[in-house]
C-alpha cells in the first residue's frame, strides 16, 4: 500500500470523528454555550462521554493526516501542492459562507500553505518547528491561563446568551440569506485572533504529520507493531486522563483549557498511531472501503455538512436546538455509512468529485496530478 493510499484510508476513518464534531455545531449554539449549563440529564451525560473522545482531538488529527498527505504527494511539486491548498482555501471560505460557519477547512488549508515550505526540508525541521510551536502555545497560552484562573471565582465557562438567542433565531429561520449573513459575520469576527490560534493549534500538527511522513513512521509501525499499541495506549490514556480534568472540575474554564489544548492533541496522536496500525493489520478489502472514502474526502465532507444543514436549519427539518446528543450520534453514524456507500458507487462508475478540480491541465504535470485523484 502506497503512502497516499494509507493516508486516504486514515482520512476515511477520521471522517466519522469530523461528522460527530460538526454535528455538535449544527445541532445547537455549541460555540456560545457552557454545555454543563445548557445540557441536562442523560443529554449531558452523553455529551460528556462524546467530548472525552473527540473534544480538542479532531482538528489536530485531521492536521496530522493533512501533513502526512502533503508528504505523500511531494512528487507533484511544491507549486502544485500550493495550488491545491489555495483551491481548498477558496472552497473552504465559500463553504463557510454558504453552509457551515464553524468549518475548520479554511484554517487547515491556510496553514497547509505554510507547511508546503517544509516539503523539501530535512525531517527534523518540520518536527522540531511543530514541537516548538506547540510548546510555546502550552507555556504562553495554556499554562498561563490555567494558573491564572484555577481556583478563582471567575473560573467558569460563560454562556453568551445574546449569541445563543441570535444563533437560534437565525438558524431556525427559513430565510437562507439570513443564515448566509450570519455565517459571514461569524467567520469575519476576530479574524486576527483566529489566525493567531491557527498558528499554535493547527500548524504544529501539520508540520509534525509532515515529519511523520518523512520518517516513514508507518513503516516503523509495521516493523514493530507492539510499539504502535504501546504508543496508542500511552498517548490515548494520557489524553483521556487530561480530558477527565474537565469533567471532574465540572466544566471549569481552566479544566477545559487544559483538556482541549493539551489532552485533545495528545489523544489525536494516539488516534493517529491506532489508525495507522489498523491500515496494516486489517484485511485489504476493509481498508479499501475507507480508502475510497479518503479518495473523495472533500466531496463527502462538504456533502455531509449540507446534509446536516438540511436536518438542523430552518431551510430543512428545523431541528436546531431540538435534537438529543444521542440522536445526533445516530444521525452522524447513518450519514457516515451512506457516505461510505456513496464513495464506492462513485468509484465504481468513475464519478468525479470536487477533487477532480484539483487537476491542473498543463501537459507537463497532467500525469502526476491525475495520481492525486
Q: Domain segments of the chain: what residues?
A: 3-371
Q: Is the pLDDT of residue 2 over 90?
A: no
Least confident piece of the model among 84-93, 146-155, 302-311, 362-371 = 362-371
- The mean pLDDT of the chain is 90
Least confident piece of the model among 127-141, 222-236, 241-255, 298-312 = 241-255
Q: Is the pLDDT of residue 354 over 80?
A: yes
- In this prediction, residues 28-34 reach a mean pLDDT of 92
- In this prediction, residues 18-38 reach a mean pLDDT of 93
Model confidence at 363, in pLDDT bands (50, 70, 90)? very low
- In this prediction, residues 151-165 reach a mean pLDDT of 80
Q: Is the pLDDT of residue 368 over 80?
A: no
Better-scored residue on pLDDT, 281 or 249: 281
- In this prediction, residues 147-169 reach a mean pLDDT of 83
Identify the pLDDT of residue 149.
80
199-239 pLDDT, tens digit per residue, is 999 999 999 999 999 999 988 888 888 888 898 999 999 99
Identify the pLDDT of residue 255.
84
110-126 pLDDT, tens digit per residue, is 999 999 999 999 999 99
Model confidence at 1, in pLDDT bands (50, 70, 90)? low
Q: What is the 3-state secondary structure (H, E, C) of the chain?
A: CCHHHHHHHHHHHHHHHHHHHHHHHHHCCHHHCCHHHHCCHHHHHHHHHHHHHHCCCHHHHHHHHHHHHHHHCHHHCHHHHHHHHHHHHHHHHHHHHHCCCCCCHHHHHHHHHHHHHHCCCCCHHHHHHHHHHHHHHHHHHHHHHHHHHCCCCCCCCCCCHHHHHHHHHHHCCCCHHHHHHHHHHHHHCCHHHHHHHHHHHCHHHHHHHHHHHHHCHHHHHHHCHHHHHHHHHHHHHHHHHHHHHHHHCCCCHHHHHHHHHHHHHHHHHHHHHHHHHHHHHCCHHHHHHHHHHHHCHHHHHHHHHHHHHHHHCCCCCCCCCCCCHHHHHHHHHHHHHHHHHHHHHHHHCCCCCHHHHHCCCCCCCHHHHHHCC
Q: Is the pLDDT of residue 362 over 50?
A: no
Q: Is the pLDDT of residue 364 over 60?
A: no
Model confidence at 359, in pLDDT bands (50, 70, 90)? low
Q: Is the pLDDT of residue 76 over 80?
A: yes
Least confident piece of the model among 146-155, 215-224, 304-313, 325-334 = 146-155
Question: What pTM did the predictor assign?
Answer: 0.93
Q: Is the pLDDT of residue 173 over 90?
A: yes
Model confidence at 311, in pLDDT bands (50, 70, 90)? very high
Better-scored residue on pLDDT, 3 or 311: 311
Identify the pLDDT of residue 346.
95
Amino acid at each position: 500500500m502506497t503512502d497516499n493510499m494509507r493516508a486516504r484510508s486514515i482520512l476515511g476513518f477520521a471522517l466519522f470523528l469530523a461528522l460527530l464534531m460538526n454535528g455538535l455545531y449544527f445541532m445547537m449554539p455549541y460555540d456560545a454555550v457552557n454545555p454543563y449549563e445548557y445540557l441536562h440529564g442523560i443529554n449531558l451525560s452523553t455529551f460528556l462521554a462524546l467530548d472525552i473522545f473527540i473534544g480538542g482531538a479532531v482538528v489536530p488529527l485531521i492536521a496530522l493526516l493533512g501533513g502526512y498527505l502533503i508528504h505523500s504527494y511531494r512528487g507533484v511539486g511544491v507549486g502544485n501542492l500550493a495550488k491545491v491548498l489555495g483551491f481548498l482555501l477558496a472552497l473552504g471560505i465559500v463553504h463557510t459562507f454558504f453552509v457551515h460557519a464553524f468549518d475548520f477547512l479554511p484554517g487547515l488549508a491556510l496553514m497547509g500553505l505554510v507547511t508546503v515550505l517544509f516539503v523539501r526540508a530535512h525531517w527534523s525541521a518540520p518536527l522540531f518547528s511543530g514541537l516548538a510551536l506547540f510548546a510555546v502555545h502550552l507555556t504562553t497560552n495554556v499554562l498561563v491561563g490555567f494558573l491564572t484562573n484555577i481556583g478563582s471565582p471567575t473560573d467558569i465557562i460563560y454562556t453568551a446568551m445574546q449569541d445563543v438567542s441570535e444563533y437560534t433565531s437565525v438558524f431556525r429561520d427559513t430565510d437562507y440569506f439570513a443564515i448566509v449573513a450570519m455565517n459571514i459575520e461569524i467567520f469575519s469576527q476576530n479574524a486576527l485572533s483566529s489566525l493567531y490560534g491557527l498558528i499554535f493549534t493547527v500548524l504544529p500538527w501539520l508540520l509534525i504529520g509532515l515529519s511523520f511522513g518523512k520518517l516513514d513512521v508507518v513503516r516503523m509501525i509495521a516493523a514493530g507493531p507492539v510499539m504502535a499499541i504501546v504508543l496508542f495506549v500511552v498517548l490515548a490514556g494520557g489524553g483521556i486522563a487530561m480530558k477527565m480534568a474537565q469533567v471532574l472540575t465540572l466544566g471549569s474554564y481552566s479544566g477545559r483549557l487544559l483538556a482541549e489544548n493539551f489532552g485533545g492533541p495528545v489523544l489525536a496522536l494516539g488516534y493517529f498511531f491506532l489508525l495507522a496500525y489498523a491500515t496494516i493489520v486489517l484485511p485489504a478489502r476493509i481498508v479499501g472501503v475507507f480508502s475510497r472514502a479518503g479518495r473523495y474526502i472533500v466531496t463527502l465532507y462538504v456533502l455531509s455538512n449540507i446534509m446536516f444543514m438540511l436536518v438542523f436549519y430552518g431551510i430543512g427539518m428545523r431541528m436546531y436546538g431540538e435534537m438529543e446528543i444521542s440522536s445526533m450520534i445516530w444521525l452522524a453514524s447513518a450519514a457516515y455509512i451512506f457516505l461510505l456507500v456513496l464513495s464506492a458507487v462513485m468509484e465504481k462508475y468513475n464519478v468525479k468529485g470536487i477533487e477532480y478540480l484539483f487537476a491542473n491541465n498543463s501537459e507537463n504535470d497532467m500525469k502526476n496530478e491525475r495520481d492525486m485523484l
